Structure 1
Amino acid sequence: MSELMETVLIERIRALIPDTSVEQKRMFGGTCFMVNGNMLVCVSRRGLMARVGKEQEAEALARPHAAQCRPTGRPMPGFIRIEPEGIETDDDLRHWVEMARAYVCALPPKAPKPKSMKSGKANR
């Protein structure tokens, strides 16, 4: 996926989830959309990663162009990688975003991580 296609996909997702509880953050070599500190979807040059949860994983893997996410060679249960061909239409993209939202919006909010002290500064 080209940089332009990646940018367009980010805009398409933003249009599907315009609410203020969604935060954009650079992670996993791409742009992630977060809800209450939990990753919803992540756009990268490889396509889309969606967090659908273990309960929906078999259903998600049955869809065309979907595979289990294995960024380090080991599977990440509940995370699905969708090739660019699987998100070409707005209906396909909406399906993945809604499947991820059904799971992620039911999760408890993550507590923000405390900001660490810069090295060299001692606690006094």
Structure 2
Amino acid sequence: MAYDLELADRLRDLLIAEPDLTEKRMFGGLAFLVGGAMAVAATDDGLLLRVDPEERDQLATDPLAGPWIMRGSELRGWLRIEADASTAAETLEPWLEHAVRAARASR
């Protein structure tokens, strides 16, 4: 499965100052890991985003957000976010803050 290369570039630009940032191909996309824990991935249809499981339901009320379903099961602590290379940085940045915070907390 291909992923949105331009979206991955945008994520890289927004996350570049994050300490311990690495990239790895995962889940058919390009994942960005913080301290070895996946925070976010660019896929062919948006973002896979790690979130605090306690905040997940509230965050899922955003019109851009939906559940991440894998093998028929909804994964707690993860959301799928509708985004592409044209999504404004002001829209992406708050999602990335949640993702980085959740990735750091998972270690």
TM-score (norm 1): 0.76
| Structure 1: unaligned runs, 5 residues or longer | 109-124
Residues 30-83 of structure 1 show CA distances to partners (whole Å, capped at 9, x for unaligned) of 000011221100111011010002111012101112111002111111100012
Distance across 1 between alignment mates of 2:67 and 2:47: 12
Report how far residue 20 of structure 1 moved: 4.4
Partner residue, 1:55 = 54
Where does residue 7 of structure 1 map in the other structure?
5
CA positional deviation for 1:107: 2.6
Cα distance in structure 1, aligned partners of 2:41 and 2:72: 18
Aligned pairs (5 A) from 1:99-114:
99-108=98-107
The equivalences for 1:1-124 within 5 A come to: 6-18=4-16, 19-84=18-83, 88-108=87-107
Instruction: State the structure with more CA Rg.
Output: 1
Moved over 2 A (4+): none
Larger relative contact order (Cα-Cα within 8 Å, sequence gap ≥ 6):
2
What code does the residue aligned with 1:83 have?
E
Q: Which has the larger share of strand?
A: 2
- TM-score computed with the length of structure 2 as normaliser: 0.87
How many residues are aligned here?
104
Long gaps (5+) in structure 2: none
